[in-house]
Amino acid sequence: MNQASRLLSTYTADVSGVCSALYELGGLTVMHDASGCNSTYNTHDEPRWYDRPSMVYISALKEIDAIFGGDDKLIRDIVETARQLQPRFIAIAGSPIPMLIGTDFSAVAGVIEQQTGIPTLGLATNGMHDYLSGISMALCALARRFCHTPVATVGSHQPSVNILGATPLDFSITGNIEALCQAFQSNGYEINSCWAMNSDLDQLANASAAQINVVVSSSGLALAQWLKAQYGTPYFVGIPWGKQGAEAYFHALKQTLTSGQDGCFYTGIASQSSGKQVLIIGEAVNASSVKAALLLQKGWGNIQVACPFVENTSLLDAQDIALQDEKQLRQLMEQADVVIADPLYRRFRKNDKAQIFVDWPHEAYSGRIYRQQIPVLVCEHFDLWQKGWLKVK
Amino acid sequence: MDTIKIAIYGKGGIGKSTTVANLAVAFAEQGLKVMQIGCDPKADSTIYLHQGQPIPSVLDLIRNKGNDFALNDMVTEGYNGVLCVEAGGPTPGQGCAGRGIIAALDKLAEKGAYEQYKPQVILYDVLGDVVCGGFAMPMRDGHADWIFIVTSGENMAIHAAANIATAVQNFQSRGYAKLGGLIVNRRNVAREMEKVEELAEDIHSRIVGVLPHSPLIQEAEEQKATLMEAFPKSDMADCYRQLAGQILAVCREE
Q: Among B193, B192, B194, B164, which residue's Cα sits nearest to residue B179?
A: B164
- Backbone torsion region of residue B183, taken as left when φ is above 0, otherwise alpha when ψ lies between -120 and 50, otherwise beta: beta
Segment holding A195, helix H or strand E: strand A190-195
**Is B16 among the residues known to form the active site?**
yes
Nearest CA in chain A to B94: A69
Residue B27 CA to residue B9 CA, distance in Å, equals 18
> Could you tell me what percent of chain B has a pLDDT over 90?
80
User: What does the pLDDT look like over A207-266, one tens digit per residue?
Assistant: 999 999 999 999 999 999 999 999 999 999 999 999 999 999 999 999 999 999 999 999
How far is it, in rounded angstroms, from Cα A226 to Cα A196?
Answer: 16
ipTM of the complex: 0.74
pLDDT single digits (tens) A129-169: 999 999 999 999 999 999 988 766 656 678 999 999 999 99
Q: Which of A71, A59, A82 is nearest to A108 (CA)?
A: A71
- CA B147 to chain centroid, in Å, comes to 9
Are A22 and A55 spatial neighbours (Cβ–Cβ below 8 Å)? no
Q: What local confidence, expressed as pLDDT, does residue A139 receive?
A: 98
- pLDDT of B142 > 70? The answer is yes
d(CA B227, CA B234): 9
Residues of A in contact with B63 (CB under 8 A): 64, 68
CB A136 within 8 A of CB A220: yes
**Is the pTM of the predicted complex or chain greater than 0.90?**
no
**pLDDT tens digits, one per residue of A158-177:** 899 999 999 999 999 999 99
Alpha helices in chain B (DSSP H): 16-29, 58-65, 71-74, 97-110, 113-117, 133-136, 155-170, 192-202, 215-222, 227-230, 235-252
Task: State the pLDDT confidence band at A127, using cuts at 50, 70 and 90.
Answer: very high
What's the order of all strands across the beta sheet hosting B76-77?
Answer: B76-77, B83-86, B34-39, B121-126, B4-10, B146-151, B178-185, B207-211
Q: In whole angstroms, give the CA distance from residue A81 to residue A57.
A: 10
Cβ A281 vs Cβ A254: under 8 Å: no
* CA–CA distance, B130 with B179 (Å, rounded to integer): 14
B88 reaches A (C-beta below 8 A): no
Cα A117 to Cα A120: distance, rounded to the nearest angstrom = 9
Strand order in the sheet with A338-341: A321-322, A302-307, A277-281, A338-341, A356-359
pLDDT at B254: 66
Residues of chain A found within 8 Å of residue B99, distances taken between Cβ atoms: 63, 66-67, 101
pLDDT tens-digit series, residues B73-97: 999 999 999 999 999 998 888 888 8
Of B164, B210, B140, the residue nearest B10 (C-alpha): B164
CA A324/CA A67 separation, integer angstroms: 35
Sort out which chain B residues have CB atoms less than 8 A from A67's CB and list them: 59, 89-90, 95-97, 99-100, 103
Q: Measure CB to CB from residue B94 to each of A64, A69, A100 and give the nearest one.
A: A69
- Cβ within 8 Å of residue B232, ≥6 positions away: none
pLDDT at A54 over 80: yes
Residue A393 pLDDT > 60: no
What's the mean pLDDT in A360-385? 93
Q: Measuring CA to CA, how many Å separate A38 from each of A14, A29, A41, A362? A: 12, 13, 5, 19
Q: What domains can be seen in chain A, in order of their start residue?
A: 14-129 (3.40.50.1980), 160-264 (3.40.50.1980), 277-391 (3.40.50)
A298-323 pLDDT, tens digit each: 778 899 999 998 776 789 998 899 99
